Chains A and B, each alone.
Chain A
Amino acid sequence: MVKVMDIPEEEFIYPGTRACAGCSMALIYRIALKALGPNTIITVPASCLTVLHGMQGFCTTKVSVYHTPFATTGAAASGIVASLESKGLSDDINVVAFAGDGGTVDIGIQSLSGAVERGTNFIFACYDNEAYMNTGVQRSGSTPPGAFSTTTPEGKTGYKKNMAKIMEAHGIPYVATAISSYPLDLYEKFQRAKGITGSKYLHILAPCPPGWGYEPKNSIEIGRLAVQTGFWPLYEVIEGKFILSKDSRRFLDASKRKPIEEYCNSQKRFRKISKEEIENHKRYINDLWNEIGQRLEEI
């Protein structure tokens, strides 16, 4: 069990990044790099993370970063890994692809799937702020139903892709979900992923103050609500074995979960959400946890 005291003090991103106030991606990146350490090469597609890295005369990261076109994050990582393997360095250097939800579940899914299918020894981390925030909040395949974006002015219809499940179906040794609001859990998952050979996938929910419509000071609270309402269960699948993470365990009991309305009402993006859509969310959460319950029983 990781404690706050276990987290290294060394920082791998400089202060003064271009991230927005209250950005949870910045927090995720900071914690992840602490877990990964200095021997890390990052690949990143077009995303908010490229903005965090800097746009005007400075770069805020201390590790090597390969900024690659939107559709190619997994492929770029494949090249780095192949080269490191031929030099016998792939166990010493972590190769980590860091992409947003668009760069993972939409345009990035092909090269991610390809890299993983080839068994590339790397970590793919999706920080999921549930829309194209960097280009001004357009919906993505990861936007939840009912959420406003500039291209879903009446709220998104349809579903949020369950990307962690899609990656699990690739049969990779490590899949996990995480969130910025539980940094110790996040840290531990990156550490675990680092120690496993093969393709590792982390899907990390990343609350976004301007995109979701809430005060920057509430990022941690909103993220906790996502977990406490059962909307975002934290878990790992290690070599096919399902493990519900500590911070999500008590929500296996439906009565412990906060109402989803509390989560939706905390964000302006859901201001037009219909009652029907709220019911869909409830059904979705219910189904999600029934499945989790079944998986835990199977073990």
Chain B
Amino acid sequence: MSNASFQEKRILTTGNYACAEGAITAGCLYFAGYPITPSSEIAAYMSRRLPQVNGTFVQMEDELASITSCFGASYTGKKAMTATSGPGLSLMAESIGLGVMLEVPTVIVTIMRGGPSTGQPTNASQSDVYQTRYASHGDYEIIVLAPSSVQEMYDLTIRAFNLSEKYRIPVIVASDGIVGQMMEVINIHSNIELVERKKPQVPPEKYKPFEAFDDDLVPGMAIAGTNYSFYVTGLTHDIEGDPQMTPEAAEVLIKRLCEKIKKARPQINDWEEKHLEDADTVILAYGINARGVPEVVEQARQKGYKVGLVRLKSLWPFPDELMERIGQMGVSKVIVCEMNNGMIIREVQRFQHLFTVSGITIPTTIPFSPKFIYEKLIKEV
């Protein structure tokens, strides 16, 4: 690990270090974490790096402590991040809902490994895709990004901070044990747009912490410890932040919390696409498992098969609009490749009125090879 900051334009580094450095670039000044393979290098890197930018690194006593202390730091105005893996995210589950409820910007990185339970700690997996979406109880929406390279560990961590600040919500970066630990050359950009959370739009005496004035349904956020005093609670609350136990209060609050993310889907969703213009079959993949797919698509096209590619860079909220577009473009079949027993495929199956859906969904710990995918593909087209 180098002590030097990432000044150079091109550097060779690991996914976990790139993620940590992306966080620093995004303005992260607080990291709280708890050791867990294969994410621990993020904490180790932050323990050296944050003091260099006057930030604070704290190793907590467990994951509950890690995430809720991040909320505390965010509540008082710092950009905060924690990093973990499946079992740790399980322990954070209740607090993810709390973060949604308090509307505190926070970034949670999960480096997926084999599960359930202890599973295969040193291997990769994509089996926590539902966990990132549904970990907490209650009705809520969440934003989840899926990097598939070391470069994207850097880029999407920055983006995660931006989205979390913009929409006042915990954003999860869902990577895996391979992307987290592999090394690649990455480009460090000089002009990065950073988003800061919306400030209160009224003076302290008129401030209501959950009053949203704008169409984006995001209230301005005060900083605790300034002359704005405000109460935040996991209880259902009204725009003043006061607990309200009426059915109407639940409906109003939950609808706003969900709607602010749902209506921003076109701005949040991100993907890479290739050859969709003439494709009749599309391979859909994400994360590490998408790395072999471009090769498959090129090979298939050389043989005359009209195959296209979609690689999701954001998983949740699911990009419904993209599926509708694929259907309108005349794609007749979508093949979903994922390293789990079938998770994203079920989202794609909601669009079976537009195209047929099949999957290569295997709960394995190594990404599918191009040869393997190609052989499956030519049986289907």
Shortest CB distance A44–B (Å):
11
The segment out of B5-13, B35-43, B127-135 that lies at the interface is B35-43
Q: Of A135, A150, A151, which contacts B37 at CB under 8 A?
A: A135
B136 contact set on A, CB distance < 8 A: none
Interface: A270 (CB within 8 A) = no
Interface: B94 (CB within 8 A) = no
Say yes or no: A153 contacts B48, CB within 8 Å.
Answer: yes
A102 contact set on B, CB distance < 8 A: 35
**In the complex, which residue of chain A has the Cβ closest to the Cβ of B43?**
A151
Shortest CB distance B26–A (Å):
21
**In the complex, which residue of chain B has the Cβ closest to the Cβ of A109?**
B61
Say yes or no: B47 contacts A153, CB within 8 Å.
Answer: yes
- Give the interface size class of chain B: 10 to 19
**Known contacts A102-B35, A107-B34; A138/B43 CB under 8 A:** yes
**Known contacts A46-B118, A69-B117; A138/B40 CB under 8 A:** yes
CA distance A152 to B44 in the complex (A): 8
- Give the interface size class of chain A: 20 to 34
**In the complex, which residue of chain A has the Cβ closest to the Cβ of B34?**
A107
Say yes or no: A151 contacts B59, CB within 8 Å.
Answer: yes
Say yes or no: A151 contacts B62, CB within 8 Å.
Answer: no
Interface: A71 (CB within 8 A) = yes
B48 contact set on A, CB distance < 8 A: 153
Interface: B27 (CB within 8 A) = no
Say yes or no: A135 contacts B35, CB within 8 Å.
Answer: yes
**Known contacts A135-B35, A135-B36; A69/B62 CB under 8 A:** no
Interface: B170 (CB within 8 A) = no
Interface: A70 (CB within 8 A) = yes
CA distance A151 to B50 in the complex (A): 11
Shortest CB distance B89–A (Å):
13
Say yes or no: A136 contacts B91, CB within 8 Å.
Answer: no
B residues 57-98 with Cβ under 8 Å of A? 57, 59, 61-62, 87, 91
B residues 16-59 with Cβ under 8 Å of A? 34-37, 40-41, 43-44, 47-48, 57, 59
Q: Of A107, A109, A138, A141, which contacts B44 at CB under 8 A?
A: A138
Interface: A67 (CB within 8 A) = yes
- Interchain residue pairs A-B with the least CB separation, the first 7: A107-B62, A150-B44, A106-B61, A138-B35, A135-B35, A132-B35, A151-B47
A→B interface (CB under 8 Å): 46, 50, 67, 69-71, 102, 106-107, 109, 132, 135-136, 138-139, 141, 150-153
B→A interface (CB under 8 Å): 34-37, 40-41, 43-44, 47-48, 57, 59, 61-62, 87, 91, 117-118
10 further A-B contacts with Cβ under 8 Å, apart from A135-B40, A138-B59, are A46-B118, A67-B118, A71-B62, A71-B91, A109-B61, A136-B40, A136-B44, A138-B35, A138-B44, A141-B61
